[in-house]
């Protein structure tokens, strides 16, 4: 997510967050569970979202 700075005049710089750029923001969980007998379960749960409004997205 790009953070864009621009000159706001005498008040200094102002920053804003916008979705887009090269890829969306993502969050996720990863883990491994030992099931015994040399067997493991591996899981990955991921989701994308737009940082400026929280709407779910993929990409």
Return the higher-pLDDT residue of 12 and 57.
57
Mean pLDDT score across all residues of the chain: 75
Q: What is the pLDDT of residue 26?
A: 80
**pLDDT exceeding 90 applies to what percent of the chain?**
27
Q: What is the pLDDT of residue 1?
A: 43
d(CA 33, CA 44): 12
Q: What is the pLDDT of residue 42?
A: 95
Q: Facing residues of 47 across strands?
A: 27
pTM: 0.45
Average pLDDT over residues 10-38: 78
Residues 6+ apart with CB under 8 A from 38: none
- Residue 57 has φ and ψ, to the nearest 5°, of -150, 170
């Amino acid at each position: 997510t790009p953070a864009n700075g621009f000159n706001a005049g005498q008040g200094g710089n102002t920053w804003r967050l916008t979705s887009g750029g090269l890829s969306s923001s993502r969050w996720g969980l990863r883990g491994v569970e030992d099931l015994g007998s040399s067997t493991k379960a591996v899981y990955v749960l991921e989701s994308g979202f737009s940082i400026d409004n929280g709407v779910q997205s993929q990409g």
